[in-house]
Amino acid sequence: MDINLGNSFSQIVSALSQIIALENHKRMFHSWRVAIISTEMARKITPETVNQVFYAGLLHDVGTINLEENLLQQLPWERQIVLPQIREHPLRGARIVEEIPGLDLAANIILDHHERWDGGGYPHQKRNEEINEGAQCLRIADAYDLCLEQNPQADCWKIIKIMSEYKSKEFSPSVFEAFSEVIAHDIYCQDVSRDECLQEVAGEIQKSLPEVQLQAKSDVIGVTLRVFARVIDAKHQYTSGHSQRVSQYSILLAESLGLSHDEVSQIKWASLLHDAGKVAIPQTILNKPGPLTPEEFALVKTHPELTAEIIKFITVFQNLLLIVRHHHEHFNGDGYPGSLKNTNIPLLARVITVADAFDAMTSPRPYQRMKSIKEALAELVVQKGRQFDGQIIDRAEEVFLALTV
């Protein structure tokens, strides 16, 4: 399969930023707006790092995974800086992003994006030129979006006036002047105040950027997706490592079934992504120790289609859409979202269904006792021909029993 690595990489990173937006119960508007404004400023201030600033803008909130909903936006600066879970989110975000190939500088930008020019920021209370220039662009773009949210009717001149109170405090004078020029005089960027324009503007900027330098012959997509999976799993207290384990189990089953190399690659990627849509489901539901209400379960059942929505714009993953969308179908037709049955369910989706159920039973969950491998296999066999494809269960008995050796 021929892959445009640079294009695929940028699409995957954009999809990861959508995960962050969904986790925080908002659309992509904030990340897009911060990425657009900071990138246009970087063209003036630090043009050699413009692509890193753009990706840092898209991913700057990745460290907020697991924070209480909207906590960062609700607290004043004085409260943010004394709460460890708030103060450390730039550190968490930087550690995650530095694992993505080619984004080392973006990680440093994210690390500094809550530092203030006067030294009153966090996590390290840097001041003046100690703060990464790209991070200074992110800081003022982030503040602009909050200001716009609080003053939705204000024009660009009103926004500039409001934010000028923080010049030489939160923002350096030179960065503030560059920001003012971008907001007030660049017609292209004035569209960022309107949510309906953001996706198109961000897309045009992304196309204009130089490609991130990626190491030849490295598993860029695989490494990036493993980071992607960790971010997905990080939201909920019981899912740490879940997507990675489901991927490993799915690969073992696929190889045991004699599937082709391309099919094994597809199942590796699809299983890493299969729960992406769950970031939009409230923690109170996914962590609930008792039975879900019909309304709660209806919300949970939306996650496979949300996953497909997230990855549908990644060109190289078009053949994964049906796999992730239908990994909760049951062989007898009782599953969701399409009530598909038998071989109408994509084979690779049927494989992930078994791997997903096996990991759910053999991992700690708030709603059930963790089972041994043999106990879990017995449960799988009971559902043979009902929830699961019998052919795959036959292979699972051999493959998963070998894990006990």
CATH number of domain containing 380? 1.10.3210.10
Task: Clarify whether residues 74 and 166 are in a common domain.
Answer: yes
Question: Which of the 8 DSSP states describes residue 4?
Answer: -
Is residue 181 a part of any domain in this protein?
Answer: yes
Query: Tell me, what DSSP letter sits at residue 68?
Result: P
Cβ-proximal residues to 206 (8 Å cutoff; 6+ apart), any chain: 10, 14, 54
Same domain, 240 and 204: no
d(CA 242, CA 382): 23
Q: pTM, whole model, 2 decimals?
A: 0.86
Residues 191 and 337 in one domain: no
Q: Is 227 part of any domain?
A: no
251 lies in the same domain as 393: yes
Number of domains in the chain: 2
177 & 265 share domain = no
* Structure confidence at residue 289 (pLDDT): 81
Can you tell me whether residue 184 is helix, strand or coil? helix
What pLDDT score does 3 carry?
A: 52
Residue 277 to residue 275: CA distance in whole angstroms: 5
Specify whether 203 is located in the same domain as 310.
no
pLDDT, residue 287, reads 78
Residue 1, pLDDT score: 43
In-domain check, residue 230: no
Instruction: Compute the distance between CA of residue 268 and CA of residue 389 in angstroms, rounded to an integer.
Output: 19
**Cβ neighbours for 165, distance < 8 A, ≥ 6 positions apart:** none
**Predicted pLDDT at 405:** 56
CA–CA gap between residue 335 and residue 301 (Å, rounded): 10
Tell me the pLDDT of the chain (405 aa) as tens digits.
445 566 788 888 888 888 777 755 555 688 888 999 999 999 999 999 999 999 999 999 888 876 665 555 556 667 677 777 788 899 999 999 999 888 999 999 999 999 999 999 999 999 999 999 999 999 999 999 888 888 888 888 899 999 999 999 999 999 999 999 998 875 555 677 777 777 788 888 888 888 887 766 567 888 888 888 888 887 666 667 899 999 999 999 999 999 999 999 999 999 999 999 888 888 788 778 888 999 999 999 999 999 999 898 888 899 999 999 999 999 999 999 999 999 999 999 999 999 999 999 998 776 678 899 999 999 999 999 999 999 999 999 999 988 875
Query: Which one of 208, 223, 251 terminates a domain?
Result: 208
- Alpha helix (H) ranges present in 257-346? 261-273, 283-286, 294-300, 303-311, 321-325
* One domain for residues 248 and 326: yes
Q: Is 216 a domain residue?
A: no
Residue 152: inside a domain: yes
* Token pair in block for residue 131: 């703060």
Residue 2: its pLDDT value, please?
46
Is residue 182 located within the same domain as residue 254? no
Position 13 in a domain: yes
Given a contact cutoff of 8 angstroms between Cβ atoms, the answer to whether 266 and 319 are in contact is yes
Q: Round to whole Å and give the CA distance between 306 and 225.
A: 17
Answer whether the bond into residue 210 is a cis peptide, omega within 30°: no
Same domain, 152 and 37: yes
Please identify, among 208, 228, 259, the residue that sits at the C-terminal boundary of a domain. Answer: 208
d(CA 74, CA 304) in angstroms, rounded, equals 31
Question: Which residue has tokens 């729960």?
Answer: 275
Domain span including residue 104: 5-208
Q: Is the residue at 390 inside a domain?
A: yes
Q: What is the pLDDT of residue 27?
A: 55
Residue 249 contacts residue 358 (beta carbons within 8 Å) = yes
* Residue 164: inside a domain: yes
The token pair that represents 219 in the structure block: 């598993």
Contact 311, 271 (CB under 8 A): no
Other beta carbons less than 10 A from residue 382's beta carbon: 12
Residues 241 and 381 placed together within one structural domain of the fold: yes
**Residue 76 burial class via C-beta count within 10 angstroms: exposed 0-12, middle 13-18, buried 19 and up:** exposed
Same domain (yes/no): 258, 204: no
- 130 and 277 assigned to the same domain: no
| The residue type at 73 | Q
Q: How far apart are the first and last CA of the chain?
A: 36
Residue where a domain stops, chosen among 171, 188, 208 = 208
